[in-house]
């Protein structure tokens, strides 16, 4: 089976299992609390619309939109426009972010779509590598991954909010309690918060699986646009990993990184690519990650290029 067909088949399975898991949780909540099913779906739909509308606004506030005449970054427009033309889609807006990590990300809705590059990624990658990364981000926009990500991630997000609130309330209740009843109520609230958080994590495992497949499909989109030059996506991943190996990331910020910090032996991109090609990665190595393990991505990229 060709690489693209395999990924699409897995995406169908992942999306189906995610919907089943989320449906079971919603049914349990509706049954336990006696809530109208219509009201729950209406709430989730409203939350999706709010994120769909407000998300691009809040994300773009962290970035600076680049004008084609910009003396430093204006060339990004020509690069992205060429790729967008090849993908038969409109050119998104271009942004530069001051985030301290080398990263690129697509965001927006049908009214306002954009691709943002952080300054570190613009400094460490060649133009060929940046072009491959841009092709990947365009894949996210073309496949409407932003909208899909919001939809599949809604329920775990809400459950995490509820779980955190219940756990915090429980701790506060126990701290302020003046009798055994108050302590028991606090313990009950804390226990419920933990259980809800565990359920959110269980559902999120399916969501993360679907997200990793979307990342792989975006990689294939870059290869489709660039052909054998899609190899530069692999060298870009190696450079990002080398940059991130000594970087400390605050987990509380919830930063989504293309390549998270990791201990590696290699000191040059070519060495790291050889290491990844020869290393057997556990299927569970990235089960809690938004992106596939970079070694898996590199192997898939090379396999896709060989299929030509």
Q: Quick one: pLDDT at residue 308?
A: 42
* pLDDT tier at 122, thresholds 50, 70, 90: very high
Q: Quick one: pLDDT at residue 281?
A: 87
Q: Which residues of 155-166 are buried (b: 16+ CB within 10 A; e: fewer)?
A: bbbbbbebbeeb
List all residues 6 or more positions away from 250 whose beta carbon is below 8 Å from its beta carbon. none
Give catalytic residue positions: 137
Residue carrying structure tokens 């792989």: 216
User: Is 70 exceeded by the pLDDT of residue 1?
Assistant: no
Determine the average pLDDT of the residues in 15-43: 93
Q: Quick one: pLDDT at residue 250?
A: 60
If phi over 0 gives left and psi between -120 and 50 gives alpha, with beta otherwise, what is residue 114?
beta
Pairing of strands 93-97, 113-118: parallel
Determine the average pLDDT of the residues in 220-242: 95
User: Is 70 exceeded by the pLDDT of residue 254?
Assistant: no
Interhelix angle 37-61/3-33, rounded to 10 degrees, is: 130
User: Is 90 exceeded by the pLDDT of residue 202?
Assistant: yes
CA dist., res. 292 & res. 290, Å (int): 7
So where are the chain's domains? Answer: 3-52+145-307
């Amino acid at each position: 089976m060709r690489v693209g067909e395999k990924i699409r088949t897995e995406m169908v399975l992942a999306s189906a299992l995610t919907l089943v898991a989320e449906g079971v949780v919603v049914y349990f909540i509706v049954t336990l609390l006696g809530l109208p099913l219509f009201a729950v779906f209406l709430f989730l739909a409203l939350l999706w619309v709010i994120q769909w509308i407000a998300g691009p606004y809040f994300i773009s506030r962290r970035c600076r939109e680049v004008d084609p005449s910009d003396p430093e970054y204006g060339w990004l427009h020509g690069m992205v426009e060429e790729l967008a033309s090849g993908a038969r889609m409109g050119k998104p807006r271009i942004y530069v972010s001051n985030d301290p990590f080398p990263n690129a990300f697509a965001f927006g809705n049908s009214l306002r779509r954009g691709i943002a590059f952080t300054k570190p990624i613009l400094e460490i990658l060649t133009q060929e590598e940046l072009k491959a990364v841009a092709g990947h981000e365009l894949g996210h926009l073309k496949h409407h991954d932003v909208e899909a990500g919001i939809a599949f991630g809604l329920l775990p997000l809400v459950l995490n909010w509820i779980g955190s609130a219940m756990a915090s309330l429980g701790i506060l209740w126990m701290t302020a309690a003046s009798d055994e009843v108050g302590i028991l109520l606090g313990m009950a609230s804390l226990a419920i918060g933990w259980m809800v958080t565990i359920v959110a994590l269980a559902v999120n495992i399916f969501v993360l699986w679907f997200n990793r497949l979307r990342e792989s499909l975006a990689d294939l989109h870059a290869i489709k646009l660039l052909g054998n030059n899609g190899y530069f996506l692999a060298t870009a991943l190696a450079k990002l990993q080398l940059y991130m190996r000594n970087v400390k990331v605050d987990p509380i910020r919830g930063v989504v990184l293309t390549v998270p910090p990791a201990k590696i032996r290699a000191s040059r991109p070519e060495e790291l690519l050889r290491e990844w090609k020869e290393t057997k990665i556990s299927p569970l190595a990235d089960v809690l990650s938004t992106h596939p393990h970079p070694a898996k991505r590199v192997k898939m990229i090379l396999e896709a290029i060989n299929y030509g």
